[in-house]
Structure 1
Amino acid sequence: MSPDRATARRRRQLTTSVKDAVRDLNIQLSLLNRRFGGRVEVRDVDWTCLDFINRHGPLSPTELARRAGLHPATLTGILDRLQKAGWIVRERDPESADRRAVTLRGVRERNAELFQVFSGMNTRMDELCDRYSDAELEVIADFLRRTSTAGQDSAEELAP
């Protein structure tokens, strides 16, 4: 086999290995999220919305629906469940000309419960990151951000 062909073959193998690792990560994070949701009594899709609100909020329901890729009618039920469980509040938006407009805010006092349930994963991630140099962590973070963007772009392609 020529050096160019061997190099190309090795590159394909490495790329396949990365893709397989991302798929394995997706499966493990899905399992973690499902078990997490069972622990705090939040459905998978509800957790996704709560995480968006906690990380990027306050958000309007329209913005949350767009980010989560959900139909507004579906989102209403999710928000009702999250509000009833005390995870979020809906506040009237005093800036809006539409008096029906609301802003979604996470109830920060409840976050301690989330942190407690995720403490094992957070500790393991800290230990894992301790094994890498700052430069390596920058590459890993860049790769994960770009992977996230690729996933977002691909999800948007599949949207109805």
Structure 2
Amino acid sequence: MSPVTSGNQRARRQLTTQIKDSVRDLRNQLSMLNRQVGTHLDLREVDLDCLDLISRHGPLSPTALARQAGVHPATVTGILDRLEQAGWVARERGPADRRAVTVRALPERGREVFALYAGMNGAMDDICAGYDEEQLKLLADFLRKTTEAGATATGDLAGRG
């Protein structure tokens, strides 16, 4: 192996390590931001996570929410009770099957959440403005694949339990 190739491999490993470290730093920073948002809204972190899933992917059944959030269905019942009591979500019974329940986020409350994330959303818009369309496609692809890898790793760990 030539020294150039060895140097290239070392540089590539260093860049890969920087990316992994940056993803971990981002996760930590977003976790801190979410804790602050949760504190302002008087929501537990898991409640905020479930509210986000319902807002983005809802209406959802409690079973689908439990699966997407990675929590036990009994835990989802408590989360939904808290969110409903606080006016964040509404449970609705199906017209054909009264046992079927879906949960939807209440849009008027969603504006409160959006306002607390406005600083981060604005910063993301500014960051994205500095990239051209091809670079944005590359970043979107990287983040999608990283999210999928995280889901796979989570599923693998859950299968061990």
- What's the TM-score bracket when you normalise by the shorter of the two chains? over 0.9
Return the alpha-carbon distance in structure 2 between the equivalents of residues 70 and 94 of structure 1.
27
- Aligned residue for 2:141, secondary structure, equals helix
Partner of 2:134: 135
Partner of 1:5: 6
Partner of 1:89: 90
Count the aligned residue pairs. 158
Give the direction of change, closer, same or farther, for the CA distance of 1:95–1:15 in structure 2 (3 Å limit): farther
* Correspondence list, 1:1-160, <5 A: 2-96=3-97, 99-159=98-158, 160=161
Return the alpha-carbon distance in structure 1 between the equivalents of residues 87 and 139 of structure 2.
35
Return the alpha-carbon distance in structure 2 between the equivalents of residues 26 and 80 of structure 1.
28
Q: Counterpart amino acid of 1:22?
A: V
Return the alpha-carbon distance in structure 2 between the equivalents of residues 124 and 2 of structure 1.
41
- Aligned residue for 2:71, secondary structure, equals coil
Deviation at 1:66, TM superposition (A): 0.4
Return the alpha-carbon distance in structure 2 between the equivalents of residues 112 and 51 of structure 1.
12
- The unaligned stretches of length 5 or more in structure 1 are none
Q: Kindly report structure 1 stretches of 4+ aligned residues shifted beyond 6 Å.
A: none
Deviation at 1:81, TM superposition (A): 0.4
Return the alpha-carbon distance in structure 2 between the equivalents of residues 128 and 41 of structure 1.
30
TM-score, normalised via structure 2 length? 0.94
- The unaligned stretches of length 5 or more in structure 2 are none
CA deviations over 1:40-69 (Å, ceiling 9, x no partner): 111110011000000000100000000111
Q: Counterpart amino acid of 1:143?
A: F
- Aligned residue for 1:59, secondary structure, equals coil
Percent identity for Structure 1 against Structure 2: 54
TM-score, normalised via structure 1 length? 0.94
Deviation at 1:157, TM superposition (A): 1.0
Deviation at 1:3, TM superposition (A): 2.1
CA RMSD in angstroms comes to: 1.1
